């Protein structure tokens, strides 16, 4: 497995591989689900650990857990945590469908960037690691929602990033787990483009009432990175050339 370091900020970097890396949607989720000072939080299916690392680099949570099924990805995340000297991040290799080594009802925030495609859809890839990341074979939306329900305190938040065509599935899974959708935001390349992603935040035991935020535009009218995206990137400069996972998959489909 070939690996290399990618900068996340002036003081933080992450170890990535061809199978386990991050994209713009990872940065969007980390920003959308930003923990508050002193909170305890977890990233489910954290991959190489980008979201936990960004949380620690940019915010001040008390404790961060990263849960990842892939042994390769978990190893990358552990090495990145050690490299950056983040003592309040704990990485676990675990399956969200099974009991996790995190106290039940102890977290304020859980975030997840689940597989974008339902199991059995699309064309299987040759890379087994990337296959698991793209298709919901080991973590369905109900799996993620139920794991979050178990870990969150009452009133705790669960945030996800998904394709627009899976919005109905997401709302259904969240509500069935007792997580009420509270904030929804669509992500668009430009104002005239259809949304390519959505970000959603739900509360355990929350009352009905969904607030839809203005769309997040990746580019302005001139095609340059939007002002809001500049703020989200922060001091991460290499990220400007990244594509969302949705864009990568559609580009691969068109090229193939």
Per-residue pLDDT of 106-139, as tens digits, reads 999 999 999 876 655 455 555 554 545 444 457 9
Tokens 């302005």 belong to residue: 220
Report the C-alpha gap between 206 and 250 in whole angstroms: 36
| Mean pLDDT value of segment 237-253 | 49
Nearest to 28 by CA among 134, 155, 149, 186: 186
The pTM of the full predicted model, rounded to 2 decimals, is 0.86
Nearest Cα neighbor of 198 from 174, 222, 177, 221 is 174
pLDDT category of residue 253 using cuts at 50, 70 and 90: very low
* Domains identified in the chain and CATH numbers: 3-255 (3.40.50.150)
> What is the pLDDT at residue 1?
83
The answer, yes or no, to whether residue 40 has pLDDT greater than 60, is yes
Q: What is the pLDDT of residue 59?
A: 93
pLDDT (tens digit, 9 = 90+) per residue, 206-244?
A: 999 999 999 999 999 999 999 999 999 887 754 444 554
Element (H, E) at 214: none
pLDDT of residue 256: 46
């Amino acid at each position: 497995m070939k690996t290399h370091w990618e900068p996340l900020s002036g003081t933080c970097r992450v170890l990535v591989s061809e199978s386990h890396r991050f994209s713009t949607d990872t940065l969007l989720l980390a920003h959308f689900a930003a923990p508050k000072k002193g909170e305890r939080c977890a990233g489910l299916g954290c991959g190489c650990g980008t979201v936990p690392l960004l949380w620690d680099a940019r915010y001040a949570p008390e404790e961060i857990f990263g849960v990842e099924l892939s042994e390769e990805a978990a190893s990358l995340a552990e090495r990145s945590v050690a490299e950056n000297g983040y003592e309040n991040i704990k990485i676990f290799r675990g399956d969200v469908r099974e009991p996790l080594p995190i106290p039940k009802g102890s977290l304020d925030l859980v975030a997840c960037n689940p597989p974008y495609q339902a199991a059995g859809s699309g064309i299987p890839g040759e890379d087994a690691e990337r296959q698991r990341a793209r298709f919901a074979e080991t973590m369905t939306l109900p799996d993620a929602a139920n794991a979050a329900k178990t870990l969150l305190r009452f009133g705790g938040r669960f945030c996800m990033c998904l394709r627009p065509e899976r919005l109905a599935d997401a709302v259904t899974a969240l509500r069935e787990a007792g997580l009420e959708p509270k904030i929804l935001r669509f992500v668009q390349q430009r104002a005239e483009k259809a949304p390519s992603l959505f970000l959603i935040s739900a509360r355990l035991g929350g009352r009905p009432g969904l607030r839809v935020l203005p769309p997040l535009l990746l580019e302005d009218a001139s095609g340059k990175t939007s002002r809001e995206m500049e703020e989200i990137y922060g001091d991460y400069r290499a990220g400007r050339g990244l594509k969302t996972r949705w864009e990568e998959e559609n580009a691969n489909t068109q090229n193939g």
